[in-house]
Amino acid sequence: MRHFTVHHDGVTIPVSRQGRGRPLVLCPGLNSTQADLRELIELLRGDHDVVTFDLRGHGRTSAAGRYSFEGFLGDLGAVLAELGKRGLSAAPVLVGYSLGADLAVHHAAEHPGAVAELVLIDGANPVPEPFVTEDVLPEFRAMWADLAARQRAARGTARQVLLTAREMLDLNVEIDGIRSGILDRYGRIDRPITMIMSTAMAGDGGEGRAPRFNRNWRAGVDRLVREHPHIATTWLDADHGLVFSHAGRIASIIRGTDVTR
């Protein structure tokens, strides 16, 4: 394993590189770290030169004064720029999970030719309706308050997340807005795109708001592939934690060895 550090926008980003083969950059999502993605990384490093890092305020990357989509996008761009200086053998496969998928789409749209292809895991979905609406705000506030409280136990470890509940709420509202216009970004990408999506991103319960959220998730992907039928899509019988529960299947899809696809 090799390590180097990227300094960007007042943030220090430790980067790890391991394995041999085709270059691949893995971008975690909101509230996830490269330590959380260890199983997927181990599965990919046998035939990929895997580069991993954490977004600001996550894992071993330092905190920032504020958190925004543009700030996270800048982190990804800074890592890719440093890799370019270090002479990758080829343009990398860019894999993004959740928010990381949205960042991957925006980077690829703004930097033609910078990546070989995209693999988007349960994110970058042009959903027809926002998730964070007035009727669900109390539930989301409680959920993120509980998550922030639980994350305090991981402070000082490779799995730490420094964001407050309010910062998580604000980011999710911002991401809703960004996804409302992400179809235009897809239209600017001329590289192969693979999507790996969960059938029950909000859980498989038949009560509460989960069915509505899951329908919205499916409708977003249906909308995307109607406009861009070249995008390859695989649905996994899982919730939004598919990158942890189905790491083996996801690795097979990325390697192009998934026979059930």
The domain that holds 27 is classified in CATH as: 3.40.50.1820
Mean pLDDT of 141-146: 95
pLDDT tens by residue, 196-239? 999 999 998 777 889 999 999 999 999 999 999 999 999 999 99
Whether residue 38 contacts residue 47, with contact meaning beta carbons closer than 8 Å, is answered with: no
Q: What is the mean pLDDT of the chain?
A: 95
Whether residue 158 lies inside any domain: the answer is: no
Whether residue 100 lies inside any domain: the answer is: yes
The residues pairing with 23 across neighbouring beta strands, listed in sequence order, are: 49
Q: Give CA–CA dist 203/243, Å, rounded.
A: 14
Q: Give CA–CA dist 228/116, Å, rounded.
A: 18
Ordered DSSP codes for 32-80: --TTTTHHHHHHHTTTEEEEEE--TTBTTSPP-SS--HHHHHHHHHHHH
Whether residue 210 lies inside any domain: the answer is: yes
Q: Give CA–CA dist 182/185, Å, rounded.
A: 5
pLDDT at 261: 65
Q: Which residues fall within 8 angstroms of residue 246, CB to CB, at 6 or more apart?
A: 236, 238
Range of the domain at 57: 2-131+177-255
Mean pLDDT of 129-146: 94
pLDDT at 207: 77
3-state SS, residue 90:
coil
pLDDT tens by residue, 1-55? 899 999 999 999 999 999 999 999 999 999 999 999 999 999 999 999 999 999 9
| H helix or E strand, kind and range, residue 118 | strand 117-121
Whether residue 159 lies inside any domain: the answer is: no
Whether residue 163 lies inside any domain: the answer is: no
pLDDT tens by residue, 62-97? 999 999 999 999 999 999 999 999 888 899 999 999
Whether residue 183 lies inside any domain: the answer is: yes
pLDDT band at 137 (very low <50, low <70, confident <90, very high): very high
pLDDT at 115: 96
pLDDT at 89: 82
Count of domains for the chain: 1
CB atoms within 10 A of CB 147: 14
Whether residue 154 lies inside any domain: the answer is: no
Whether residue 200 lies inside any domain: the answer is: yes
pLDDT at 252: 97
In terms of Cα–Cα distance, which of 165, 125, 131 is closest to 31?
Answer: 165
3-state SS, residue 140:
helix
pLDDT at 248: 97
Which two structure tokens, joined as six digits, stand for 98? Answer: 């959740």
In terms of Cα–Cα distance, which of 212, 210, 207, 214 is closest to 235?
Answer: 214
